Amino acid sequence: MDAESFKRMFLPCHSKLYGVAYRLLENEEDAEDLIQEAYLKLWSKRNELTVISNPEAFAVTLVKNMCYDLLRSGKYALGRQNVPLSEAQNAFPADNQEIQEDAQVVKAILARLPLQQRQVVTLRDVKGCSYEEVERLTGLNSVNVRVLLSRARKKIREEFNKWNGYEGR
Band (pLDDT 50/70/90 cuts) for residue 164 is confident
Question: Looking at the predicted structure, is the pLDDT value of residue 17 above 90?
Answer: yes
Q: What is the C-alpha separation between 88 and 83, in angstroms, rounded?
A: 6
What does the alpha-carbon distance between residue 56 and residue 8 come to, in Å, rounded to a whole number?
A: 11
For the chain, what is the mean pLDDT? 82
95 pLDDT higher than 60: no
| pLDDT(169) > 50 | no
Longest dimension (CA), the chain: 65
40 band by pLDDT with thresholds 50, 70 and 90 = very high
Alpha-carbon span 149 to 143, nearest angstrom: 10
Residue 165 φ/ψ, nearest 5 degrees: 75, 25
- Spell out the domains of the chain, with CATH numbers in brackets: 3-79 (1.10.1740.10), 85-164 (1.10.10.10)
The answer on pLDDT for 165 being more than 90 is no
Q: What's the rounded mean pLDDT across residues 114-141? A: 86
pLDDT at 118 over 60: yes
- Asked whether the beta carbons of 144 and 151 are under 8 A apart, the reply is no
The whole-number pLDDT of residue 69 equals 85
What's the pTM value of the predicted model, to 2 decimals? 0.47
